[in-house]
Amino acid sequence: MRIAGALAILVLLSACAAAPARTQSAPGWSIAIHGGAGIIERPQLTAETEAAYRDGLARALAAGAAVLRDGGASLDAVEAAARILEDDPLFNAGRGAVFTADGRNELDASIMDGRAGAAGAVAGVTSVRNPISLARAVMEKSPHVMLMGAGAEAFATEQGLARVPPAYFFTERRWLQLEETLRARGAPIPARPEGATPSPSAALAPLDDHAFGTIGVVARDQNGHYAAGTSTGGTTGKRWGRVGDSPVIGAGTFARNGVCAVSATGTGEYFIRLSVARTICARIEYLSESGKTAADAVIRDALTAIGGDGCVIVIDAEGAPAWSFNTPGMYRGFETSETAPVISIFADEP
């Protein structure tokens, strides 16, 4: 009887040793994406517009997940997914960027490598097709963390990154948003940019979604490396070279191996004041909170208390994707090695 018991324990122990070390809450790889948050409710989205958003998110998520599934690096997954969202005119990043008060597009982006904490960021670039790739080049090919304006453009030339004329960023929808913002402000409306043509998104119903359409991606790869990236056109009608949280490491983006990867979207000024991304990671690291608990504490409690709006996506210490938003909706998606892709927009979705 005693021998049988010992044998049973031995069998059990060897089964445990053979089983993968990870559990449901610690996936082999995981990725989450966002395409902004805001007053996004069902009556505001036509079926066609909603389908276009879901499709854009799904394509980006699939591209990032494919990199991770194949054993690729989290940084590559973040860049791949972010570039797809930047190229999609629906999102306020790259191609679909909002306009400044004088009718220009000034783009910001950042990326962080959770391994040793390297980071790169750009602010106020106007001719770079994929600012997320420029941010990565700053991180990997320069001794700096953040480049801005003309200097960032010169660095993009040096690095041979794809450039586009201003008209590339023209979308009718964003132009209408600018006109509306300036009219409400009683400010003059600038001339349409040279070469402006109706964008593909003009075919969709004009959308007053009051959304922060910044995009972001967070990932953990099969080697346990974390990365986060964020890209934006900023806020409609911004002036004076305004820069928000998206290119600010610790505010809009943060990653640290074994702890977290975070990307944010929302009223950037408030996210900067609270160091939102870094604070969420600090809570996970020092208080052993889950990504969800830490994100809710910062977004639902602290951010709401000072009047800020928006959302974050997080991969936490266990590798579990999480998010939090204090707005009615949020364009989001996530997938892990253990779970099928999920794309959601409204508050009552998973």
Q: How many CB atoms lie within 10 A of CB 177?
A: 22
Q: Rule CB under 6 A: choose which of 89, 114, 244, 329 binds ligand ASP.
A: 244
Tokens of 308: 């800020």
Measured between alpha carbons, how far is 19 from 13 in angstroms, rounded to an integer? 10
CA dihedral 334, 340, 341, 346 (to 10 degrees): -80
In the complex, minimum distance from the CB of residue 188 to ligand ASP, in angstroms, rounded to a whole number: 23
Site for ligand ASP in 291-350 (CB under 6 A): none
Measured between alpha carbons, how far is 56 from 34 in angstroms, rounded to an integer? 11
Cβ nearer to ligand ASP, comparing 265 with 336: 265
Cβ nearer to ligand ASP, comparing 64 with 244: 244
212 binds ligand ASP (CB under 6 A): yes
Site string for ligand ASP, 76-115 (x = CB under 6 A): ----------------x-----------------------
Site for ligand ASP in 21-50 (CB under 6 A): 36
In the complex, minimum distance from the CB of residue 121 to ligand ASP, in angstroms, rounded to a whole number: 12
In the complex, minimum distance from the CB of residue 316 to ligand ASP, in angstroms, rounded to a whole number: 22
Q: Which one of 126, 181, 214, 265 is the catalytic residue?
A: 214
Q: Which run of H or E residues covers position 118?
A: strand 118-125
Contact criterion met (CB below 8 Å) for 99 and 105: yes
CA dihedral 138, 131, 247, 259 (to 10 degrees): -80
Contact criterion met (CB below 8 Å) for 30 and 319: yes
DSSP annotation string for 33-54: EEEEEES--GGGS-HHHHHHHH
Q: Rule CB under 6 A: choose which of 246, 253, 257, 279 binds ligand ASP.
A: 246
Instruction: Choose the stretch contacting ligand ASP; rule: CB under 6 A; options: 47-55, 56-64, 197-205, 229-237.
Output: 229-237
Contact criterion met (CB below 8 Å) for 130 and 169: no
Please report, as ranges, the residues that interact with ligand ASP according to CB under 6 A: 36, 92, 212-214, 232, 234-235, 244-246, 265-266, 268
Give the catalytic positions in this structure. Answer: 214
